[in-house]
Amino acid sequence: MTKSLSLIYIHKIMVYWLNYSVRGGFMNLHTIFFQGETLNILELFIRASILYFMLFGSTKVMGFRQPGILTSYNFLMAAGISHIAASRMVNPKARLVDAIPIIIVYTLINLFISYLYFKAPSVVSQKPIILIKNGKLIKKNLSKAKLTLDNLISILRQKDVSNLENVGFLIAESTGDFSVAVNNNNLPITKIDMAMEPSQDTLSQILIYKGKVDEKILNRNSLNYDWIDKELKSNNIDNIKAVYLGLLTTDKKLYISP
Amino acid sequence: MVFGVIEDISLVGYIIRTFIVGIIAFLVGRYVLKRTIAQLTAYDFTLVWILGALTVAPLLDGKVSFTYIIVPLLTLFFWHYIFSVISLKNRTLSLFFNGKPVILIDDGKIIRKNLKKHFINVDLLMSELRLKNILDISEVKYVVLEPNGHFSTIKKESHRPVTPIDLNLSVKPVDLPLVIINDGKLFEENLMKSGLDKAWLMNNLAMYNVNDITNIYLATIDSFKKLYVAKKH
């Protein structure tokens, strides 16, 4: 109730402020969109804000693979679109109306290429290149990837591999990174090697956040409030409101941070 | 003629502008939040990519005055700050701004719907797993696509390295050694924190054939009062 009321107030104030600024001559919507050379500071602020929100929206639409720069084209797209937005923010000659369709079309192209990666990977994606196999260099692929021997040794060092003979595979991925597989007998001993029967676990989940319980997670793990109360009591906490973070750990215990 | 909108900027003007841009770039780097540089989420990502292009704009064109970059810079910092504060205060909005992590492999099963949603094909998934030292997809229990586009992987229990718990071994607890001497300078408060004094230090340094602190480049001490000493040469 109070939340929606305050939202109405904020809206009213913003509309009033906008009207006031436009009529009072502090800013002019026409100038913001169509002219760059006569902008005052307030109008510059609004132009930059609009561009920033557009860029934020476009990054959101492109999905998580964009911030992760999963493929080389993500890199070019990021550099390109941010440069477009930046030059539109600062260049007096640039008009905001031009920038808006450019950003939208650019985002759509990016989405289309991402879609191609999923639908027709053979057309767009590069194949991973195997550089070392079973401790032996593959010269042909090395020249294909345009890597010198010094590059290669440097990559191995960065991957904590000191001896080339121990490398089972070294692969140049299409993402521009390198993956190394060390021969099995140089890897840490796993539980399966020792024939151990490990306990099963799951991902840890945020169950309580600032005193609020996430009911979905509670139900999914077939737990109830009695169980939470019991866990709280064993940590000497009376009120759930005092819990800043309650993490359901991998072995189904409650980690509590007040 | 350095400031303002200039049609034909002179070489000297450009050089002076470069110095000013250098200072602005330093200040931007100094005051940008650490989380931005780590590119944690979409709004960090947007900011970090635009900052560089924005800062150097006065060098590309004489007509771009400093007002035209400082106002947008402050605008971006303003919005980024607002986003960060809102994210801390409200979880629902935070999940919208930051994005929710997406589970790609749940308990060994590939969730095709989520792969499709983020346009990740199997080749890409396998590449990312290889980057995490997982060659065999059957060894994975969970794969989570984080909001910053990175993949987190958790192996199945039996494919994890053996730990001291499995063998019922007791090992010494993790601790961060304290620096007590750096480039010949003694940090007495760190020495006090370990419950020791200068006399003890000098006694122990004698074992390393050192009797002057200024001859030491680095000395650290851990919670078991074990010294590490690196001498100057």
Residues B129, B152: Cα–Cα separation, whole Å: 9
- Nearest by Cα to B74 from A90, A91, A78, A102: A90
**Does A180 touch chain B if contact means CB atoms closer than 8 Å?**
yes
Tens-digit pLDDT profile for residues A70-79: 777 778 888 8
- Among A35-39, A97-101, A232-236, B17-21, whose mean pLDDT is lowest? A35-39
**Does A121 touch chain B if contact means CB atoms closer than 8 Å?**
yes
Between residues 132 and 161 of chain A, which touch chain B (CB distance below 8 Å)? none
Tens-digit pLDDT profile for residues B186-226: 888 888 888 888 888 888 888 888 888 888 899 898 888 88
DSSP state of B3: S
Question: How many CB atoms are located within 10 Å of the residue B86 CB?
Answer: 13
Q: Say what the ipTM of the complex is.
A: 0.72
Q: What's the predicted TM-score (pTM) here?
A: 0.73
Looking at chain B, the whole-number percentage of residues with pLDDT higher than 70 is 99
C-alpha distance from residue A168 to each of A137, A173, A196, B46, B189 (Å): 11, 15, 26, 39, 49
**Does A59 touch chain B if contact means CB atoms closer than 8 Å?**
yes
Nearest-CB residue to A191 (from B75, B147, B166): B166
Looking at residue B144, its pLDDT comes to: 92
- CB–CB contact A203 B150 (8 Å): no
Q: What are phi and psi of B195, to 5 degrees?
A: 70, 30
- Taking CA–CA distances from A64, the nearest residue in chain B reads B149
- Taking CA–CA distances from A210, the nearest residue in chain B reads B91
CB contacts of B120 in chain A (<8 Å) are 65, 70, 117-118
Instruction: Give the confidence band of B104 by pLDDT, cuts at 50, 70, 90.
Output: very high
Q: By the 8 A CB rule, do A176 and A72 touch? A: yes
- CB–CB contact B148 A71 (8 Å): no
H/E stretch holding B170: none
Residues B27, B22: Cα–Cα separation, whole Å: 9
Nearest-CB residue to B157 (from A44, A93, A201): A201
**Does B102 touch chain A if contact means CB atoms closer than 8 Å?**
yes
Which pair of tokens denotes residue B94? 């935070």
DSSP state of A96: H
- CB–CB contact A63 B118 (8 Å): yes
Q: By the 8 A CB rule, do B36 and B48 touch? A: yes
- CB–CB contact A45 B121 (8 Å): no
Q: Amino acid identity, residue A79?
A: A
Of the residues B96, B112, B118, B140, the best mutation for testing chain A's interface (the one with the most A CB atoms within 10 Å of its CB) is B118
- CB–CB contact A66 B149 (8 Å): yes
- Nearest by Cα to B164 from A200, A194, A187: A194
Give the pLDDT mean for B50-55: 84
CB contacts of B81 in chain A (<8 Å) are none
- CB–CB contact A78 B79 (8 Å): no
Tens-digit pLDDT profile for residues A209-243: 888 888 888 888 888 888 888 888 888 888 888 88
